[in-house]
Amino acid sequence: MDYWFCLLTFLIVFFKFTKGTELTFELPDSAKECFHEEIKKNTSVNVEFQVVTGGQYDVDVTVEDPKKKIIYKQIKMQFDSHSFTAEHTGIYVICFSNEFSTFSHKLVYFDLQVGDEQPLPGVGEHVTVMTQMESSAQDIHRALNNIIDFQTHHRLRETQGRKRAEDLNERVLWWSILESLAVLVIAFGQVFVLKNFFTEKKPFGVK
């Protein structure tokens, strides 16, 4: 298996302050992968995904609520994000489908954020207005979260670009090998034809 597939497959990160899941998984050809999450009513949810490698970098995505209602559906999308508020309490199902592909495996990045981020421990627990230090801590915390998000997307773009470059390099390699073989075949063919031209042939009937 490709090194980058092994590096990124089943990479799971759980954030400390929000109930969120971030993972990268391999989606085989003609396969469908679903994730189930129990969500309470009136909870905000954000779903984000991106196809990192494989085929045309596209998958089918659906989000289904506990009443089997499709609240989000996209066909052959490379990346997208969708936010909604849960209307019912229960199990929500997010499915990624590669059933339309017969030979291309996909590597898919998936980020699910459920609920609003909780405040830092000890901050805002008192009645008085937050101190300057507490406000600065909140600002730093938000900035760090933005940095983590930027780094994640940068790694995804870097991995995608590297895979594209490796695929292009492999195609160029095979094309060069085929061209070299074609040149050799033509060269030997020309030598064989020229050799037949200058080979002395005996007259018919002469022994």
- What does each C-alpha distance from 137 to 71, 115, 150, 194 come to in angstroms? 37, 21, 20, 84
So what's the pLDDT on residue 12?
34
Pairing of strands 11-14, 70-77: unpaired
Q: What is the pTM of this model?
A: 0.63
- Residues whose CB falls within 8 Å of the CB of residue 80, separated by 6 or more in sequence, listed in order: 48, 49, 61, 74
pLDDT given at position 121:
62
Q: What distance in Å separates the CA atoms of residue 156 and residue 121, rounded to the nearest whole number? A: 31
38 near 96, Cβ under 8 Å? no
DSSP 8-state symbol, 31: -
Per-residue pLDDT of the chain (207 residues; tens, 9 = 90+): 444 444 344 333 333 334 567 888 899 988 999 999 999 999 999 999 999 888 888 899 999 999 999 999 999 998 888 999 999 999 999 999 999 888 888 889 988 988 876 666 655 555 566 677 777 777 787 788 778 778 877 877 787 778 778 888 888 999 999 999 999 999 888 888 887 777 766 655 555
User: How far, in whole angstroms, is CA 63 from its chain's centroid?
Assistant: 18
Strand arrangement of the beta sheet that strand 106-114 belongs to? 11-14, 19-27, 106-114, 44-53, 79-85
Identify the pLDDT of residue 52. 87
Nearest to 44 by CA among 20, 62, 67: 20
pLDDT value at position 6? 42
Domains of the chain: 11-117 (2.60.120.380)
Residue 115 DSSP label: S
